[in-house]
Structure 1
Amino acid sequence: MSGNTKYSFSEVKKHNDNKSAWVVINNNVYDVTPFLNEHPGGEEVLLEQAGRDASDPFEDVGHSSDARELMVKYKVGEIIDSERKPVKEKHSDWSSGSENANSENTLKSWIIPIALGIVATIIYRFYFLSY
Structure 2
Amino acid sequence: MGGEGTKVFTLTEVSQHSKSKDCWLIIDGKVYDVTKFMDDHPGGDEVLLTSTGKDATDDFEDVGHSSSARAMLDEYYIGEIDLSTIPARTQYTPPKQPQNNQDKSSGFIVKLLKFLVPLLILGVAIGIRFHFHNKSA
Q: 8 Å contact 2:10–2:82 — kept in the other structure?
A: yes
Q: Which residue of 1 aligns with 2:28?
A: 26
Q: 8 Å contact 1:4–1:78 — kept in the other structure?
A: yes
2:61 is the alignment partner of 1:51: no
Question: Shift in Å at residue 85 of structure 1?
Answer: 8.1
Q: Which residue of 2 aligns with 1:116?
A: none
Q: 8 Å contact 2:11–2:81 — kept in the other structure?
A: yes
Gaps of 5+ in 1: 87-131
User: Bigger shift: 28-37 or 44-53?
Assistant: 44-53
Q: Which residue of 1 aligns with 2:84?
A: 82
Paired residue secondary structure (2:70): helix
Question: Shift in Å at residue 13 of structure 1?
Answer: 0.6
Among 21, 29, 38, the alignment partner of 2:40 is 38
Query: Partners in 2 of 1:83 and 1:50 — Cα distance?
Result: 15
Question: Shift in Å at residue 49 of structure 1?
Answer: 1.1
TM-score by length of 1: 0.59
Q: CA RMSD in A?
A: 2.2
TM-score by length of 2: 0.57
Q: 8 Å contact 1:6–1:80 — kept in the other structure?
A: yes
Structure showing greater radius of gyration is 2
User: After the TM superposition, which segments of 4 or more aligned residues of structure 1 sit over 6 Å from their partners?
Assistant: none
Gaps of 5+ in 2: 89-137
Number of matched residues? 85
Paired residue secondary structure (1:23): strand
Question: Shift in Å at residue 51 of structure 1?
Answer: 2.7
